[in-house]
Amino acid sequence: MKSLLRFWLFVVIIIILSLVIVSPSFASDMQKEEALFFDANGNPSYITIINKSSVEYIYLYEISRLMGGSFTFDSKDYNFLQSKFLIDQNEFIFKLDSNVVIFNGKNFYMDGPMQIIQNRICVPYSTLKTYSLLNKNYCQ
């Protein structure tokens, strides 16, 4: 009787371990955190940064609102989902699941693709951080 109990306990442990190791739903690779950000007027605000697959993403609408830019998303053409972000007469065009951003007509690579996370459009934070650094260096 004890050997049968040990056998079933062993089987249950193996099944549980295999589910934990194999199933991605048990170990989510997405983490959220808040970061302090200063808007176009110098007012402090918090933005949400999502860390997914070692890439930091931000909500494009949220950052466009804080930076004083405009954001549009064309969802009518399902084969070519893209969003446009305008700030300081500069244009960013992001395409869904593409690592390429078109910045003022020139193609640049990003750390990760534009994605829809929790029903919101997200882009890699490093893309806009690089733009901000270049913009500050340009103004000095």
Average pLDDT over every residue of 87-114: 87
Closest to 34 (Cα-Cα) out of 47, 45, 52: 47
Task: Annotate the chain with three-state secondary structure.
Answer: CHHHHHHHHHHHHHHHHHHHHHCCCCCCCEEEEEEEEECCCCCEEEEEEEEECCEEEEEHHHHHHHHCCEEEEECCCCCCCEEEEEECCEEEEEEECCCEEEECCEEEECCCCEEEECCEEEEEHHHHHHHHHHHHHHHC
pLDDT, tens digit, 9 for 90 and up, residues 4-38: 777 777 777 777 766 656 554 444 567 777 777 77
Domains, the chain, in order of start with CATH, read 30-139 (3.30.457.10)
pLDDT, tens digit, 9 for 90 and up, residues 40-53: 677 788 888 888 88
- Quick check: pTM over 0.85? no
Between these two residues, 93 and 128, which has the higher pLDDT value?
93
13 φ/ψ angles, rounded to the nearest 5 degrees: -65, -40
Distance in angstroms (rounded) separating the CA atoms of residues 21 and 27? 8
